[in-house]
Amino acid sequence: MTTKTATISQVQHSKSDVKRLVKAMTAIAWVVLAVGVLLSLVNLSHFSDRNVGLMVGIGFLIGSVHIYVIGTAIGLVHARLNQEQPSNHSDME
- As a whole number of angstroms, the distance between CA 93 and CA 80 comes to 21
| pLDDT, tens only, 30-72 | 999 999 999 999 999 999 999 999 999 999 999 999 999 999 9
Indicate the pTM of the whole model.
Answer: 0.73
| Predicted local distance difference test score (pLDDT) of residue 26 | 97
The candidate with the shortest Cα–Cα distance to 79, out of 71, 67, 90, 91, is 71
Q: pLDDT band at 16, cuts 50/70/90?
A: confident
The whole-angstrom distance between residue 85's C-alpha and the CA centroid of its chain comes to 23
Kindly list the domain boundaries of the chain, sorted by start residue: 16-84
Angle, vertex CA 23, rays to CA 21 and CA 29, nearest 5: 100
